[in-house]
Chain A
């Protein structure tokens, strides 16, 4: 008996149990397809697990995640938690999912929903991440909001001086990421406002190159941060972080609109780490390997202009959500639904061929 006979051609395997994976699974399941989720962590949720609240309305991340999980459970979608997949093997029209030397699953269609990774801020050594405890990434700050880690300054500091650096590992050819991560701008605005809510006396500065408030109500949030929260936006880049007075950091920057260099002492410096690929596809004729990304690697490439998630050169392999490039949550949800429709079309076309 050939192994392809094990494969249920109608079954869809979804790799990644974050918002994209869950949403794709939900839409496909609602349309009557049998779906499985393979998630390498022990819990569903992806990056959403680490977030405190969401822009632009301030919805608690745990509420959204809870609602998604509930639906997944309600639909009894089979979950393979703690299951890593490192390559796919084409067998007949379908796929085998492999980890190392063992087959961990079989499916007619595979949807990649592995999401994104955060740029490793240590690569921009001049900002001192990992060297000075008061330098955080945006993800670290969310953990502070979620009370999973302490504020980097003492309780006696009622009026902390705080700086946000935009575009850390985005729009930077030297870091191999020429793209704009597009949601760090509004995340910084959201986080700056949150910090002000915790410490009304704090002075918060955002150092930006361009503010890209592309989403609905983002621009309004930006204005609110300026007017109601007193956040100061400075168009310019930071040079480097160095030890300053006491436990503070000494920071140098250029205010490009004033055309003058500026110095300031900070209690906390937040680096808005960009979104980078978590893996690169090494495509062979009948196999697809998920490899560690190397310098300059891009996101998963999809076919043409009209396809939402059909992966280049591979029939029956789709990609959903932020593994294809930076995306906000609403965009991920919309994309996941579109990819689900494409998967449905594909499965139907296979059936039509079989009948003919």
Chain B
């Protein structure tokens, strides 16, 4: 090294500082694992799981494929920033190796390589690396330009909302934005003065920086480049840019079988990595049905958890509709984290359920369906009646488990973060179900469905009524003819995103009428506003959400709105100017009286025999 190299120190100090802080933080988060590593983790560490993790790090940490799938322009922005930078780091290493024949160098050598070796054009390989590095830089600069555009006009990037950042994040952002333009100018100055360079830096140097009077600027620009790099690294471990290294570690840990804790531990194990792996990309903001009313979206919630301040109200207000978790490009377990936070808020809550009955209705013969309409089902007698009529029409026998008194399934408690209390209710219902002889459990409430399916571990299969009715239609035990009715269908959060049941309701509606397509449906559907997932959202805020959802549903041509959740129906029906019905009601009234007559006659004939 002949030239003065003092300017590399800001970068080196910042880099070492970031490395040290990261190491300390990660060790602190992993403290319990390091003390007692699980054998599962160790065995997975040296298996194909690590390779799968590397693949995911590449596809998500660098290429950002999941963001790309949701939003191409935004995906390209993230991809060009991350991949470009990565290309330059890898390329820099190879270039220095190629040039010096030596693999190991000080970290600064590759970063400021052009300054030290402006004339490295040696054969085709040297030319290749020059252009390769310029291409990487161009990629980053493109991403940077898009990022700046996104800050000024977010609509250009196809998003409606961007995260509002705190001071430290804005400082980090400023340094990050300065790094690459400074590098471009510094390299161009060097090439302008000394000749050489790739298609970008070299060309810029030749056209703008050949004048000898600019020679004095070369070193200051390399200083500025180093300073901005160093400053960025100093703030990195305390800003959202911590997500860059953390996301990679998170992917590894996940593939090694580590799972997030049920209780809130924001500085421990996988939860700590999840909280710090969020890049605040803003996809969760864009899909949130409540974005106009409240800044409680996951990006803000995770940021509050990182700072340890104000997360309580953010956790309580959220609707838990699951839209953000569906959209999250790094698949963070947002609902679980939110429930853990709620559990922490209400840790003093305690419940006593010894009063509940443990004996259900007595039925000696085996029936087809054990019907559970749930708490909300009681408020929807029309749905229950329609469903029972349909069961009769399809020749299914049933017992209504909670016709007299409804014991809650437990999910509302779970949604409040009270997992242990929820399990007490599950025990009660399990003992009621045990006494019954039925082929399947059918529920009209998607909230119950989710709970029964995921957490009850029952011996009999659990279905939502839309699934059972669909199978009746497919098997021919129910027959419908396509009528002229036009429906718009509202996907309940708990049935759609939470239980991935989209097809059955649609098949049912298409069997008897026309289903209209909506601006937001299926996994992108909005919450009706009545979600039990929110604890503290006020009525007026809920009603504002409902009217927004109704705007999506009340499309031209729609004669009625159909849904399959008693809560959604109750809520939408109160506010809508169109009739709002449950699937079962729609199907029951579209039954042709003539067919019903034929069926009754057939049944009577069978009974006579």
Contact = CB atoms under 8 A, between A and B. Distances in A.
Interface of A: 123, 125-126, 128, 131, 173-176, 239-242, 292, 294-296
B99 interface: no
A292 B385 contact: no
Q: With a 10 A CB-CB cut-off, give which of A174, A240, A292, A294 has the most chain B CB atoms.
A: A174
B570 A295 contact: no
Given A131-B385, A295-B547, A126 B576 contact: no
A173 B575 CA distance: 11
Given A126-B381, A240-B379, A295-B547, 11 more contacts: A123-B574, A125-B381, A126-B378, A126-B379, A175-B574, A176-B575, A239-B378, A240-B378, A241-B381, A295-B575, A295-B577
A342 to B, nearest CB: 33
B577 A294 contact: yes
A240 B381 contact: yes
Q: Is the interface of A mostly helix, strand, loop or mixed?
A: mixed
A176 B574 contact: yes
A80 to B, nearest CB: 28
A295 B576 contact: yes
B406 to A, nearest CB: 11
B378 A125 contact: no
Contacts of A176: 574-575
Interface string B572-596: 0111110000000000000000000
B574 A174 contact: yes
B382 interface: yes
B539 interface: yes
B562 to A, nearest CB: 15
Contact of A125 (B380, B543, B547): B380
Contacts of B543: 295-296
Interface centre among B380, B381, B539, B570 (most CB of A within 10 A): B381
Nearest to A173: B539
Nearest to B540: A173
Nearest to B575: A295
Contacts of B381: 125-126, 128, 131, 240-242
B385 to A, nearest CB: 7
Nearest to A293: B577
Interface string B531-561: 0000000010001000100000000000000
Contacts, number: 40
Number of contact residues on B: which range applies?
10 to 19
A108 to B, nearest CB: 35
Interface in B59-99: none
Contacts of A292: 577
Interface string B370-388: 0000000011111001000
A241 B379 CA distance: 9
Contacts of A295: 543, 547, 574-577
Contacts of A125: 379-382, 570, 573
Interface in B379-403: 379-382, 385
A126 B382 CA distance: 9
A123 B570 CA distance: 9
A125 B539 CA distance: 20
Contacts of B576: 295
A214 to B, nearest CB: 28
Contacts of B573: 123, 125
A7 to B, nearest CB: 35
Nearest to A128: B381
B229 to A, nearest CB: 57
Those 10 A-B pairs whose CB atoms lie nearest each other, nearest first? A295-B575, A126-B379, A131-B382, A128-B381, A240-B378, A174-B574, A175-B574, A294-B577, A125-B382, A131-B381
A261 B575 CA distance: 30
Interface string B343-387: 000000000000000000000000000000000001111100100
A241 B382 CA distance: 11
A294 B380 CA distance: 23
5 contacts: A125-B380, A125-B381, A126-B381, A242-B378, A295-B575
A123 B385 CA distance: 17
B546 to A, nearest CB: 8
B564 to A, nearest CB: 15
A125 B572 CA distance: 12
B404 to A, nearest CB: 10
A174 B543 CA distance: 9
Contacts of A126: 378-381
Interface in B442-484: none
A240 B380 CA distance: 9
Nearest to B571: A174
B328 to A, nearest CB: 33
Interface string B147-191: 000000000000000000000000000000000000000000000
A146 to B, nearest CB: 29
Contacts of B575: 176, 295-296
A128 B378 CA distance: 11
Contacts of B539: 173-174
B334 to A, nearest CB: 29
A240 B547 CA distance: 26
Contacts of A242: 378, 381
Contacts of A128: 381-382
B400 to A, nearest CB: 11
Contacts of A294: 577
A277 to B, nearest CB: 13
A173 B541 CA distance: 13
Contacts of A239: 378
A173 B546 CA distance: 14
B150 to A, nearest CB: 37
Contacts of B547: 295
A175 B573 CA distance: 9
A131 B381 CA distance: 8
A123 B382 CA distance: 12
A295 B382 CA distance: 22
Nearest to B573: A123
A184 to B, nearest CB: 19
Contacts of A240: 378-379, 381
A128 B543 CA distance: 24
A293 to B, nearest CB: 9
Nearest to A294: B577
B369 to A, nearest CB: 19
Contacts of A173: 539
A214 B333 CA distance: 57
Nearest to B582: A125
Contacts of A241: 381
Interface string B91-135: 000000000000000000000000000000000000000000000
A188 B470 CA distance: 46
Nearest to A130: B382
Nearest to A175: B574
B543 to A, nearest CB: 8
B356 to A, nearest CB: 16
Contacts of B378: 126, 239-240, 242
A294 B554 CA distance: 13
A87 B547 CA distance: 26
A176 B543 CA distance: 9
Nearest to B403: A242
A173 B577 CA distance: 17
Contacts of A123: 573-574
A91 B558 CA distance: 37
A1 B576 CA distance: 46
B434 to A, nearest CB: 26
- Residue among B385, B539, B574 with most chain A CB within 10 A: B574
B81 to A, nearest CB: 46
Please indicate which of the listed interface residues A173, A240, A241, A295 has the most CB atoms of chain B within 10 Å of its own CB.
A295
Nearest to B378: A240
B598 to A, nearest CB: 26
Nearest to B569: A125
A61 to B, nearest CB: 31
A40 to B, nearest CB: 20
Interface string B218-235: 000000000000000000
